[in-house]
Amino acid sequence: MKTNSTTQSLARKVTLKIVFVLSWLVIFPIIVAAGIIDIVTKQNPKVNANTRITSDQSKIVPKNTQDPFKLDKEKR
């Protein structure tokens, strides 16, 4: 019985080492490559406090002001 448990223990250790090596040689490079591809293909640079955002939704429409364009349209 002693040799059987030693053989099982050795087989288990070998299997764990093989899985560990395969995970570092296969999975890790794939994750690193995906991260590099994501960084390279990113279209929009980082937005920080100094970045101007130009969109119609971010503009506050002033109230109670006379817009010269509105006056021109009303006169026509």
- Is the residue at 58 inside a domain? no
Task: Report how many domains make up the chain.
Answer: 1
Quick one: tokens of 9? 């223990």
Retrieve residue 20's tokens: 């560990």
Kindly state whether residue 62 falls inside one of the protein's structural domains: no
Does 13 fall in a domain?
yes
Q: List the pLDDT tens digit at each of the 76 positions of the chain.
A: 455 678 888 899 999 999 999 989 998 999 999 999 988 887 666 666 666 666 665 566 667 666 656 555 555 5
Inside any domain, residue 73: no
3-state secondary structure of 68: helix
**Is position 68 within any domain?**
no
Using an 8 Å Cβ cutoff, are 47 and 53 in contact? yes
Q: Give the whole-number percent of the chain exceeding pLDDT 90.
A: 28
